[in-house]
Amino acid sequence: MNAVTVNWIAIGAVEDIPPRGARCVTTPQGRIGVFRTAEDQVYAIEDHCPHRGGPLSQGIVHGASVTCPLHNWVISLETGEAQGADEGSVKTIPVKVEDGRLFIAIEALATEAV
């Protein structure tokens, strides 16, 4: 059943992610990459490159984008869209930072990922 209310789930602290880096969160629906930019913005997207499924959380983070470690597609962390000439997108997952603690909206993931 699709929950309507958004359920924020704590996943850790901003400090746990290196600046210009990422960590991943495992869920029954698959892995989520949680990214922290140089300016301390945090984004969460599916950890699954639209090209051939590369683990985006292992890529190099620059600006608000990540470059996939397998074949260098560049994915926007804000929109989940592939940049440049490549086409494809990944789901973005809402994240909230409260007092340095991180929450993701897991239901959003569950409903969309089914």
Partner 1 sequence: MTEKLVIIGNGMAPGRMLEHLFEKAPGRYAVTIFNAEPRVNYDRIMLSPVLSGEKSYEEIVIHGDGWYIDNGITLYKGHRIVAIDRAAKTVTSDHGVTESYDKLVIATGSMPFILPVPGHDLPGVLTYRDLDDVQAMLLAAQSRDRAVVIGGGLLGLEAAAGLRERGMEVTVLHLMPTLMERQLDPAAGYLLQRAVEERGIKVITKASTKAIHGDGKVESVELENGTIIPASLVVMAAGIKPNAALAKETGLAVNRGIVVDGGMRTSDPDVFALGECAEVDGRVYGLVAPLYEMARVAAAQLAGEGQASFVHSDTPTKLKVTGIDLFSLGDFADGDDREEIVLRDAASGVYKRVVLKDNRIIGTVLFGETMDGAWFNDLKKKETDISEMRDTLIFGQAFQGGSPMDPMAAVAALPDDAEICGCNGVCKSRITGTITAKGLTSLDDVRAHTKASASCGTCTGLVEQLMALTLGDAYNPAAVQPMCGCTELGHDDVRRLIKAKQLKTIPAVMQELQWKSSCGCAKCRPALNYYLVADWPDEYADDYQSRFINERAHANIQKDGTYSVVPRMWGGVTSSAELRAIADVVDKFAIPTVKVTGGQRIDMLGIKKEDLPAVWSDLGKAGFVSGHAYAKGLRTVKTCVGSDWCRFGTQDSTGLGIRIEKFMWGSWTPAKVKMAVSGCPRNCAEATCKDVGVVCVDSGFEIHFAGAAGLDIKGTEVLGLVKTEGEALEHIVALTQMYREQGRYLERIYKWARRIGYDEIRRQIMDDADKRKAYYDRFVFSQKFAQVDPWSERVSGKDKHEFRPMAAVGFKEAAE
Nearest distance, CB of residue 32 and partner 1, angstroms? 9
Please say whether the beta carbons of 35 and 59 come within 8 A: no
Residue 66 as a binder of ligand FES (CB under 6 A): the answer is no
Q: Name which position in 73, 93, 102, 106 contacts ligand FES (CB under 6 A).
A: 73
Applying CB under 8 A, the residues found at the interface with partner 1 are 9-12, 16-21, 23-29, 31, 34, 37-39, 52-55, 58-63, 67, 69-70, 72, 74, 104, 106, 109-110
Does residue number 30 form part of the binding site for ligand FES (CB under 6 A)? no
Distance in angstroms (rounded) separating the CA atoms of residues 67 and 49: 10
CB of 67 to ligand FES, least distance (A): 8
Q: Name the pairing type of β-strands 101-105 and 95-98.
A: antiparallel
